[in-house]
Structure 1
Amino acid sequence: MTIVSHSHGYIFLKTRKTAGTSVEKWLSGALRPGDWITTAPENLPLPVGIWDTANTVTRFGRLERGLKRVCRYGLGWPPGPRFREHMEAGAVRAAVGEAIWTGYFSFAIERDPWDRIISLWRWRQHARGAAPDFDGFLDAIEADGTDLATRGYSNMALYTIDGRIAVDRIIRYNDLCGGLARLCSDLALPLSPGELPFRKAGHRDSADSPHALTIAQVARIARICAEEIDLLGWDYRKLYGAPQRP
């Protein structure tokens, strides 16, 4: 999902396993006519103009979605950028143009790789009804990348261009409410992080925690995600202490 808010001058790029669906719903409360948004496949109803989003904004959802699909992809109308969920930063910049990209405040959310990969593994288990054990999941990531279950294990392309951070701010998931509070202050958004709805909670076993990773698993994830760890300065020991399991 991508939000381009002309009324508040920001661009939000949605990353995976970072409460993005909750944040998009929360941000939609301050959208105004003319703001551009495409949210997750849930097709959340939004308080914006009918042509400002691919989502449904009327009570005739099926008809509206079909009409929009025909108009946008068949007729190329209305003109303007087309967004999709989890859109790469370079594609967003190309869609909105250099003036908006450089003139608006862009931000994304990121989660440390140990916590994020556990969350992705459990979510895939929930979605598929079955999945390999955690070590098997890491094996699949390290293999040739053909296993769809491991797709999207990294968010880097969503907020970097040519290996460099391309957004103005990365909010850390472990300080999500604090980061969103600072964002509201900086952008004068009439929102409170305390109202954030966690729409996808409940898919994760309470026993699944980065604290439960073995020394070998911690090291494997560090190798898999070495580039983002170096880029963002993630440190397992500072976040969770020394691994407790051999």
Structure 2
Amino acid sequence: MIISHKYKYIFLKTTKTAGTSIEISLSRFCGSDDIITPLTSVDERIRQELGVMPQNYENYTRYLDPWEYRLEDINRLITERKIPKINTTFYNHMSASRVKRGIGSKIWYSYYKFCFVRNPWDKAISRYYWNMKKQGKIETLDESLQRNNPNDNFEIYTMKNRLAVDYVGKYETLMEDLEKISKKLNIPFDGWMPNAKGNVRNDKRHYSEVLNQEQREFIRKKCQQEISLFGYEF
């Protein structure tokens, strides 16, 4: 995840949508005050070679706005005469509601917020092979679907079941959408993207050749909001 004060945007990182590659690429243009969350050690080495490190993500402190005060905050303000504040540590795949709470309403509403989504059936297969190869989980596809929520991205970019971002790009048109975002924000994006987490999946079959009818309908049911919202079809 990136919160860029330099370009005034918030990139909410969803799962299995090339989010790590996007984050590494955009990190190159961040300023010293921007918030960049850490990656896994392998992916972090790619970014370190570019001279970029995670920064400002731990113990981010801000004072609460008056309308955010809770009873304990009011009591503290009265008894200790201290303006209430909170500390937040930002991390990858953080939900929109938690990011908003941590960064504050002023920044949240004034910055351009974006994320990426992916065809839910394709994403489920990608996750299955990722877990098998990188995490060493020996399980069937059915077990993977039951253990991993196929709709896990929804709360990252929504609040109270409503879109909480200004733009949702698609994995299927990633470069085109990222270029649109960069142009709008005046980010000097040059089209470079690392192949982070790539070359994991040996089985290159289309998801329609892997999923049986029951598995298809399971994903359709779990991800019906996302499917309807972005017009995905099997």
Indicate the TM-score class for this superposition, using the shorter chain for normalisation.
Answer: 0.7 to 0.9
2:37–2:55 CA contact under 8 A, matched in 1: no
- 8 Å Cα contact 2:151/2:223 also seen in 1: no
Q: Pick from 28, 51, 56 the counterpart of residue 52 of structure 1.
A: 56
**1:123 is the counterpart of 2:130:** yes
SS of the aligned residue for 1:90 comes to: helix
Superposition deviation, residue 128 in structure 1: 3.6
Q: Distance in 2 between matches of 1:152 and 1:10?
A: 27
SS at match of 1:106: strand
2:159 maps to 161
User: Which residue pairs with 1:69 in the alignment?
Assistant: none
- Give the TM-score taking structure 1 as reference length: 0.74
Change (3 A) 1:222 1:40: same
2:231 corresponds in structure 1 to 233
Q: TM-score scaled to structure 2, two decimals?
A: 0.78
**Matched residues in 2 for 1:115 and 1:167: separation?**
23
Structure 1 portions without partners, runs of 5+: 55-78, 142-146, 237-246
Percentage of pairs with the same residue: 33
Which secondary structure state, in structure 1, belongs to the residue aligned with residue 173 of structure 2? helix
Paired letter, 2:187: L
- What's 1:134 paired with? 141
Structure 2 distance, partners of 1:18, 1:231, is 17
> Per-residue deviation at 1:84?
1.0
Distance 2:177 2:184 in 1: 11
Aligned length: 201
SS in 2 for 1:107: strand
Contact 2:157 2:163 in 1 (8 A): yes
CA distance in 1, matches of 2:169, 2:54: 30
Alignment gaps of 5+ in structure 2: 59-85
Cα distance change on mapping 1:84 and 1:50 into 2, 3 Å: closer
Matches within 5 A, 1:75-154: 81-138=88-145, 141=146, 147=147, 150=148, 154=152
Q: Could you say what secondary structure the match of 2:143 adopts?
A: helix
In structure 2, the partner of 1:198 is 195
Alignment match, 1:4: 3
1:211 matched to 2:208:
yes
